[in-house]
Structure formats: C-alpha cells, structure tokens
Amino acid sequence: MAELIDPNELMFTNFEPRLKNRFIMYVDGIPSYLIRKIDEPKLESAEVELPHMNVVRWTKGRTTWQEISMELYDPILPSGAQIVMEWIRSGHESVTGRDGYMDMYKKDITINKLGPVGDKIGEWTLKGAWAKSADFGDLDWGTESDPSIITVGIRYDYAILQF
C-alpha cells in the first residue's frame, strides 16, 4: 500500500536559504568594505592504502586545509594594493630580501555569515592565515567602468566553524 505524503512536509516548512552575498569578513589591517569575495574553507583528507593478502583496505590519512582566494576592491583611498603589500611585506620584504617571523605575517580571519536582518547566522575562524599569493589585476583601455580587483591567495593552518 502506498504511503500518503503529508503536504505540510513539502510545502509549508520554514526555509530561509543562506545567501552568498550576506557576509562580512574581518582581517586585521584590511577594512571590511574592501572585501568583495572570499572562498569558504575547503579541506581534503589523504588516503592510505593498507594491502592485506589479496585485498586492499583504505583509511584516512592527513587532512589538509586547501588554499582559498579573496578578492578586494582597489579604491584610490585607502589603496587596496598598498594594504595587501603591507601584509606581504610582513612576511617578505622584496627590497631587502628579509623574511618575517610567523607572528608578523600570520593572522586570524573571521568570516561572519549574515541573516536577512544582519544577524550572525554562521561564523568561520581561519587560524594562522597568510597571503601566499597576490594578483593585482590588469589595466585595460577598452573598459569604462570596471573596478580594479586584487586577488589574494590565502593559506591557513586550519579553520573552525563556530556555528
């Protein structure tokens, strides 16, 4: 006998999706309003092969948090490029060749997901984040109104989903 489906289970449940554009991010030294886009944390676990007689079994190996990408607007003031270069210079000064200590260039990053009224509905904390790469964009005579965008590759030790 076929089971009857309750229409209340399909149509009338409370459902409010999390929207991708409702977030605010905090990085020491970077104003939040410059941050245009950020990837959410990603992780991958390696696999370990365990051969046994005529079969193979598998187990989880080391887990690695993957590099993510952040995009910033580059306004005239404050200069986004200058802000990013200050973060990079805390880890490597290109003029002198000096590298910095980890406590100088590693930062904690907080990403707050927001609800429709601006309330915090989720929070990621990225521990030990540093600017691994920077792409300062391109210049193009053929565009009229495209904003300058800086892309920063961020490597971090691990992430914590607070809620």
Can you give the pLDDT at residue 6?
Answer: 75
Q: Is residue 158 scored above 70 in pLDDT?
A: yes
pLDDT number for residue 13: 67
- One-letter amino acid at 47 equals E
Give the Cα separation of 59 and 83 in Å (integer).
43
SS (H, E, C) 112-159: EEECCCCCEEEEEEEEEEEEEEEECCCCCCCCCCCCCEEEEEEECCEE
Q: Residue 4's pLDDT band (boundaries 50, 70, 90)?
A: confident
Query: In the chain, pLDDT over 90 holds for what percent of residues?
Result: 88
pTM of the model: 0.86
**At residue 34, does pLDDT exceed 90?**
yes
Structural domains present in the chain: 18-40+67-161 (2.30.110)
In degrees and rounded to multiples of 5, residue 10 shows phi and psi of -95, -40
pLDDT value at position 10?
Answer: 67
What one-character DSSP code corresponds to residue 36?
E
Q: Cβ contacts of residue 93 below 8 Å, gap of 6+?
A: 99, 100
Per-residue confidence (pLDDT) for residue 104, from 0 to 100? 95
pLDDT confidence of residue 140: 93
Q: In this structure, are residues 97 and 9 in contact, taking their beta carbons and an 8 Å threshold?
A: no
Q: What is the pLDDT of residue 16?
A: 86
- Is residue 7's pLDDT more than 90? no
Residue 96 has pLDDT above 90, yes or no: yes
- What's residue 12's pLDDT? 65
**What percentage of the chain carries pLDDT values higher than 70?**
94
Residue 69 is predicted with a pLDDT of 98
What pLDDT digit, counting tens, does each position of 45-81 carry?
999 999 999 999 999 999 999 999 999 999 999 999 9
